[in-house]
Structure 1
Amino acid sequence: MTSWQQAAAKDTALMNDFQAICGFGGRLSGSGQDEAAMAWALERLREVGPDVRRVAVPYDGWRCLSSSLTLLGDTPLSLDCVPLLRSASTDAAGLEGVVLDLGAGRQEDFDRAGDAVRGKIVLVRHEYPFSQGHLHRRRKYDMAVARGAAAFLIANTLPGAGPLSGSSGRPRDGAGIPAAYIDHEGAQALAAQPGARVRLQIQGEELRDSMACAGILDLPGGRDSRIVISAHMDGHHLGNSALDNATGVAVALAAARILAGSVGPDTPGLRVCFFTAEEWALAGSARYLADMPAAERRDLKLNINLDTVAGDDTLCALISQYPALAGVVDRTAERAGVPVSHWLPFMPNSDHANFAKHGIPALRLVAGFEKPESRVRHILSRGDVPDIILESEMRNALAVTCAMASLALSMSDHELDALKSGSTCPGI
């Protein structure tokens, strides 16, 4: 057992913290659960160091007032649906239309349908999010909007798992169409009736002047530079958002406890960031970084983002088109005694993406990459509950996080700046 595995094994609070975070509920931004969980986390951070602050960041708030989906016919059938966050609203009576099944809902599916998309209620399928060929729901939604669809339905492909939850990415007062997740069984019912007619009703409300927050712990070293460990606190109203992302927050808290003694006069500082409004198209971290003074942002040398770090016994680092990070990951895996793969292409599926776009080498540590059969498949669903998380996986993620951050803390600023070498990350 490596020293980092031993350190991870000795942290007695890791799983208690995980359970405490899940105990706040799904932690949807704007629900109050996110704020309560953040207040708890700030108190936990104050046990590690005194420089703890809460930073308020505006975001485009929204809430669903009512929703329904009905398959019309001689015997109307009510289907389970969950509106996408920031969905456009229908009229109060709802929107009636013909369903056009586009299968996976990829570019070729939209191209094949051509003008037939216009005015239809488009049906596509959700894809397991942690795979090389994954196409995000928002890209499918955007294609439906661009092709003139009247509404957008996206189906969970797992039988018996219910609908999922996620964001449409529609900006405040922006153009968009009504959009909702449905379950596997609902999609089957629609697919069995080509030309099926449905009534979709969604009433949403813009919440202007909405504020999210970030919780920040700064452990200053002897240099202005900072290594950042981040995780998002917010989640969805389905389940307890255990995978996504109580796992990451609990591991980040434990890493802060373990690493605090490694920060000293010859090292960079360590910053721990907990974001909210991540599930709202990464809005919280985007605004936090955009509002930061440029000089402070330049001092951020590496972002280690923890998001869904358990749910399978494999770990992968998504290294955001920063090829030099591959060596960091390989050295980390050796030090931690835990295998970690890496994936170079930019995947904008968590807060690391906003760091990377600002020219900060960034990665996301995630479990279950290319493992759609893993327990990570329950992400965004009612099945995202504490019981699917194994302690051994949490402790492996903690050992990896500590080994990686310790390696970064031992590097000179010149070595840290060299991590930008060869990057082709969008936005730089």
Structure 2
Amino acid sequence: MSTQQHAWLDQASNDPDLMQDFLSICGFGGRLAGTGEDEQALDWALGRLQGLGLEPQRLDIPYDGWSCRKASLELMAPGSAANQLSCHALLRSMSTPDTGLEAEVIDLGQGREADFERLGQAVPGKIVLVRHEYPFSPDHVHRRRKYDLAVDHGASGFLIANPYPGGGLMSGSSGRPVNGRGIPAAYIDHASGQALADALKSGPATVRLTIIGQEAPSASARIGILDIPGGSVDTIVISAHIDGHPLGASALDNATGVAVALAAARALRGRISRDTHSLRICLFSAEEWALAGSRCYLDQMSDAEKSRLKLNLNLDTVAGDDTLTALTSGFPALDAYVREAAASAGLHIGTHLPLMPNSDHANFARSGIPALRLLAGFGKPDSRVRHILSGDDLPGIVKESELRQALKAVCAMADFALHLPSDALAALAAR
């Protein structure tokens, strides 16, 4: 790495506003799409981008909105009062009757496909209990996959427990579309999961699950786009989602990514010229709603415009551990690209090739655009990243050094791509 490149990347990573931007984003709350907190945070973030002397766009993107009016869970005890347990409805859960759904619980452990096959005939009509898994590991099975298995096997309800002792409630999406088939579904805390497991040791256990949801058919999420034109129409996209969950402050997921994206835009603004490709900053919302915001954004785009998007660097949960990994979405050529760009910054960034559809990069990859997700803590279930989706996702669990490392990494990767010859940039799309 040249002395000049080293000095530029060091200066970029020392952005004086990085931490304050991160804290400001957290200050808007969990930023669940539909609450208004995400729109307030986006307006603030786009105001920050206006400081670059360019005017960002605001686009309204429709998505399947929904809100929870009531969620409760009771462990029924014959001859005595029901034991109230803690629960939090999955986004877009199917509703129960107003009086609740009363059914036996069946414990499927992790709730993987083999667990459903093993207990297949016992599942229909039961409320299944499964466990949340650390989402960033090679063998992770996503919550929505477990939910779909429960629906496919005829379960009447779905409970997913926090697996960490002392762990509280978590939040996430069922992925159920409007008018799609589904079942009532909720997260429960570790103590409630343990209470159900203990009750089942003595024989059948029955619960009453009540979830009353309300559709929001005209819901829209606001996203922000800033283009920094270079000498080429070929464009590198840096993306991050600004929406989050109602629990905690969505600090890891994804105030970290938004703060780094804003700082990267400031650092890269002066590196873009008629001798480079162009840069686009995308701040998405409704990511936590089964990636709806970026999916709709790309689906509405013309093929001609999509063809100009040559690489997506998606920043999502880029702190919480001191290791960084690029999830490279099934594009083998991105492995060498990441290694070279990381070396230019004096960093090590791991790679994981198979597509993990757990953030907005997946929609770019689905559109044939080379895409990666930069992520902290891959394969490290004991890292602070485990607190995403929970009430513990607060600013205090993020270290400044980790944010600065992520900023240096994305600046190195973006700058490397901005200066690639057009044929080398196009070659990243090979599969």
TM-score, normalised by the number of residues in structure 1: 0.97
> 1:42 pairs with 32, 41, 46, which one?
46
From 205, 211, 214, the equivalent of 1:196 is: 205
Structure 1 residue matching 2:320: 3-state secondary structure: coil
SS in 2 for 1:193: helix
Q: Which residue of 1 aligns with 2:376?
A: 367
2:405 corresponds to which residue? Answer: 396
Partner of 1:83: 89
Q: Which aligned pairs between 1:118-129 and structure 2 lie closer than 5 A?
A: 118-129=124-135
Distance across 2 between alignment mates of 1:182 and 1:49: 47
Q: Distance in 1 between matches of 2:191 and 2:347?
A: 39
Name which of 248, 252, 268 aligns with 2:257.
248
**Structure 2: distance between partners of 1:110 and 1:48:** 53
Q: 1:392-415, CA deviations, whole angstroms, 9 ceiling, x for partnerless residues? A: 000000000000000000112211
- CA change 1:145–1:278 in 2 (3 A) is same
Q: For 2:381 and 2:12, locate their aligned partners in 1 and report how far apart those are by CA, in whole Å.
A: 27
Q: Distance in 1 between matches of 2:71 and 2:208?
A: 11
SS at match of 2:337: helix
1:381 alignment partner AA: S
Match runs of 1:283-302 below 5 Å: 283-302=292-311
| 2:153 corresponding residue in structure 1 | 147
Q: Is the 8 A contact 1:54 1:214 kept in 2?
A: yes
Question: Superposed, which structure 2 residues align to 1:262-281 within 5 Å?
Answer: 262-281=271-290
Asked whether 1:108 is paired with 2:114, we answer yes
What is the CA-CA distance between 1:115 and the residue it aligns to?
1.5
CA distance in 2, matches of 1:151, 1:368: 32
Residue 49 of structure 1 deviates from its aligned partner by 3.6
Q: Which residue is equivalent to 2:332?
A: 323
> 1:381: which partner in 2?
390
Contact 2:64–2:219 under 8 Å retained in 1: yes
Contact map agreement 2:127 2:159 (CA 8 A) in 1: yes
Q: Does 1:62 align with 2:71?
A: no
CA distance in 1, matches of 2:126, 2:257: 40
2:323 to 314, 317, 322: 314
The alpha carbon displacement at 1:51 in A equals 3.3
Q: Does 1:19 align with 2:19?
A: no
Shift of the alpha carbon at 1:256?
0.2
How big is the shift at 1:6? 1.3
Report the CA distance shift for 1:167/1:126 in structure 2 as closer, same or farther (over 3 A).
Answer: same
Cα distance per residue 1:287-313 (max 9 Å; x no partner): 000001111110000000000000000
- Pairwise CA distance, 1:3: 2.8
Contact 2:231 2:277 in 1 (8 A): yes
Alignment counterpart, residue 353 of structure 2, candidates 336, 341, 344: 344
TM-score (norm 2): 0.97
Query: Quick one: distance in 2 between partners of 1:258 and 1:332?
Result: 16
Ranges in structure 2 where 5+ consecutive residues have no aligned partner: none
Identity of matched residues, %: 60
Taking only aligned residues, the RMSD between alpha carbons, in angstroms, comes to 0.9
Retained in 2: the 8 A contact 1:85–1:166? yes
Letter in 1 for 2:244: G
Separation of aligned partners in 1, 2:127 and 2:205: 10
Q: Name the count of aligned residue pairs.
A: 422
Alpha-carbon offset, residue 4 of structure 1: 5.0
Runs (5+) with no aligned partner, structure 1: 424-428
Contact 1:66 1:202 in 2 (8 A): yes
What is the DSSP-based 3-state SS (H/G/I as helix, E as strand, rest coil) of the residue aligned with 1:369?
A: coil
The letter of the residue matching 1:133 is: D
Question: Following superposition, which runs of at least 4 residues in structure 1 exceed 3 angstroms of deviation?
Answer: none
- Alpha-carbon separation, structure 1, partners of 2:384 and 2:14: 26
The question of whether the paired residues in 2 share the 8 Å contact of 1:4 and 1:336 is answered with: no
Among 7, 14, 17, which residue is 1:10 paired with? 14
